[in-house]
Amino acid sequence: MTPAALLVIGIIGLFLAYALAKKMMISQALIIANFIIFVLTLFSPHILDELAFRPSHLTDVTRMYTLITSMFLHAGFLHIIGNMIVLLFVGMPFEQRIGAKRFILIYIAGGVAGTLFYSAANLNSTVPLVGASGAIFAVLGAFAAAYPRDEVVMLVPLPIMFFMRMKVVTAAVLFGLLQVVLLVLENYFPSGGLQNVAYLAHLGGLAAGIVLGVMLPKKEKSAGSEKIDFDELSAFVTTEKQRELLERAKGADEPEVARAWLSALKRQLKCPRCGGELEIADGVRCRRCGYRK
């Protein structure tokens, strides 16, 4: 393996480790890592050959790592821009809902499932498969299954592209149907310029995400039932009034009472970096910039 390919693997590991240490959101780390790796591939195109997945790799256990590395490679500027825009507007709010660990599990598992689904229909193919689309479709599917009423901003891929706010379940249905239509068109018009897109990987990722989303808890996390890291929360406390609210929440015997005190405290706390609202779920972090202490 060349030094450039090793560097790419190191970047993937570094950014994921940094995010899991609660220094930033996983979705933010994925976006930054993808763009850095894309720039590297512009200078070292052979990275695509080394780290892209091919269905023929299923018979070579030594190349199975490409199931992961291929998610961080993109074939062109429009490819990465489209994927990262969706990851920004869909991935970040979903991560806020379920937390970093569950999010990265769905992202990786869904991306792998999408790749395997595509490979099952293209066994022994040596055509390289790259892109985060399967993983992003998995996130969309899981989000729709777990929180269908939530709204997200989507980039609508019409001749004139524009952003539209819609319910996440609507987005999942529309984009899932679009993949089916494009797949049919690919089969009927194989020379129509659509054959370089792995629509089956998108559909496989979407299906895997729906299954994983169904397995997520359907109820909102409550302050009285979830594990609150009061030590981490106290690091954001700056006034005596905030300290009093924190102590009342810690000493509450009933979940409803604890939720009430935490809600009052949350209104008082601000992110020390950007002044944004803090979220007390899966640790304490800023909704706006993702800052954690």
Q: Write down all domains in the chain, each with its CATH number in brackets.
A: 3-214 (1.20.1540.10), 230-286 (no CATH)
Strands 278-280 and 284-286: antiparallel
User: Which pLDDT tens digits describe the chain residue by residue (293 residues)?
Assistant: 899 999 999 999 999 999 988 778 899 999 999 999 999 999 999 999 999 999 988 888 889 999 999 999 998 898 999 999 999 999 988 988 888 889 999 999 999 999 999 999 888 888 889 999 999 999 999 999 998 988 888 887 766 777 888 899 999 999 999 888 888 887 776 655 555 778 899 999 999 999 999 988 654 444 444 567 777 788 888 888 888 888 888 776 556 667 777 888 888 888 888 888 887 766 787 777 777 77
The answer to whether the pTM exceeds 0.85 is no
Distance separating alpha carbons of residues 288 and 211, to the nearest angstrom: 29
Whole-number pLDDT of residue 189: 65
CA–CA distance from 144 to each of 83, 138, 150, 236 (Å)?
A: 18, 10, 8, 33
The tokens for 57 are: 């790799």
The H-assigned helical ranges of the chain are 3-20, 26-43, 46-51, 66-69, 77-86, 92-98, 100-120, 133-146, 168-188, 199-214, 230-234, 240-251, 255-268
- Give the pLDDT score at 161: 73
